[in-house]
A = this chain, B = another copy of it.
């Protein structure tokens, strides 16, 4: 049936919505919530039908984003039909029954996810089944390829193209802001794209944005890489592996991450990387809790990398406490810049130079970590970062104190003297988010003591930064409840961590980062 387009200036968070008059819908056999196919000039899309008595009979109301999908304008004529059930739904149902999927079934599903032919409920069921059953390596490879094929890809040429990625989990992991300039200063190509925070107080894109713009176009990214060998940009608008973002939106509230491997590998392949160093923080405070788990994940990464023609080296890194002292976009940017200028917390310095060293050794440069150390000490990494900042549109002369942080602060002090026994990264991250991070870039936490440090009674444990008083207050209240830093005076104290039945059952925070 042919209907005339009427554009409605409403957004629905990505869903494709079409409004039909109730008689029109009845004639098409469409009920509210059914899918309809909308075709114009040979291009088709699927949208969810809502029924209205206020729409004229021969019109179809399209939400703004929906109309944009086919570049439709008011008055265009489109052909509308009740949509067929997508073939991919058959494969989704097969996976619900625990069946292994063939490569073409997976490709079909991923295409239909991107084309919005599958509903959120169907994608959710699929991801849940994957989470419970697990994926075979063949399925992971097929997922990776499908996620790459259904999006754009970039190429930075034949020469080694390096990349680094952390599976995430420890707050304060600002390592990339050091690694990229080190590698670029050595003349190697490292086009680093990063995400914004999903559950954490800061993603690399959020941190770097306090130094310079990160939402660069593909042309601007090429220019930056051409001029400096590297970049530190947000990858979200490049349309690389768009299926990944759609999956993450559904995985996140469910607290599951069945596609961790294909998600990361597809994005690296799509950006044109040839050599990837994967940081796997391991420990109580990280996403990966034990070395056994870490070894298994690492070998899966290497294996999947081989299948996708990517050279992968994994580093299992210390994950028992936050990295460095600062947590929050602006605070972390300050700490990273200060580190490159010569004054760094030891753990941040060691991790950044180690990972840069891993990358160097992947392309045949020996004594990688030492090389990385000397690049920092000679000032080459700081200079390179400032070059990148300038080309990306920021002020190359920026100093740490120029980076705005929250002016509403409060320090939490020790109620006894002792040694820092335990810092809950999860709790520190929650406090930083309660204080306003990452939306309020100047918010966060600065640790005044790390594991093993001795603290006197009334000594500083950590300082909370916020941009608004209300945020500071609720962060302080949360801090009092969570008690993220645990001190011990004598060995025997504090052996009881909690009791059941007890005050409350604490839900473990789900960590989702990319």
Contact = CB atoms under 8 A, between A and B. Distances in A.
Given A93-B510, A132-B98, A125 B122 contact: no
A255 B85 CA distance: 12
Contacts of A11: 32, 50-52
B254 A50 contact: no
A93 B254 contact: yes
Contact of A250 (B9, B10, B34, B121): B121
A490 interface: no
Contacts of A15: 33
Interface in A118-136: 119-125, 127-129, 131-133
Interface in A128-161: 128-129, 131-133
Q: Which of A54, A123, A507 is most buried by chain B, counting CB atoms within 10 A of its CB? A: A507
Interface in A179-231: none
A189 B191 CA distance: 76
A508 to B, nearest CB: 10
Nearest to A32: B13
Given A8-B54, A11-B52, 4 more contacts: A96-B131, A121-B121, A121-B124, A132-B133
A14 interface: yes
Contacts of A503: none
Nearest to A65: B32
29 contacts: A8-B52, A8-B54, A9-B52, A9-B53, A10-B50, A10-B52, A11-B32, A11-B51, A11-B52, A12-B32, A12-B33, A13-B31, A13-B33, A13-B34, A14-B32, A29-B439, A50-B63, A85-B253, A93-B254, A93-B255, A96-B132, A120-B121, A121-B121, A121-B250, A121-B253, A121-B254, A122-B253, A124-B124, A125-B256
A141 B132 CA distance: 24
A154 to B, nearest CB: 28
A90 B52 contact: no
Contact of A129 (B14, B121, B132, B253): B132
A376 interface: no
B33 A253 contact: no
Main secondary structure, interface of A, reads mixed
Interface in A238-286: 250, 253-256
A404 to B, nearest CB: 20
Nearest to A90: B507
A89 interface: yes
Nearest to A53: B9
Interface of A: 8-15, 19, 29, 31-34, 50-54, 63, 85, 89-90, 92-93, 96, 98, 119-125, 127-129, 131-133, 250, 253-256, 439, 507, 510
A477 to B, nearest CB: 16
B14 A33 contact: yes
B54 A96 contact: no
A164 to B, nearest CB: 30
A512 to B, nearest CB: 12
A119 B121 CA distance: 9
Contacts of A133: 132
A303 B54 CA distance: 52
Contacts of A96: 128, 131-132, 254-256
B31 A253 contact: no
Contacts of A90: 507
Contacts of A129: 128, 132
Contacts of A255: 93, 96
Contact of A122 (B29, B53, B63, B124): B124
Contact of A10 (B54, B122, B254): B54
A8 B19 CA distance: 12
Contacts of A507: 90
A221 to B, nearest CB: 26
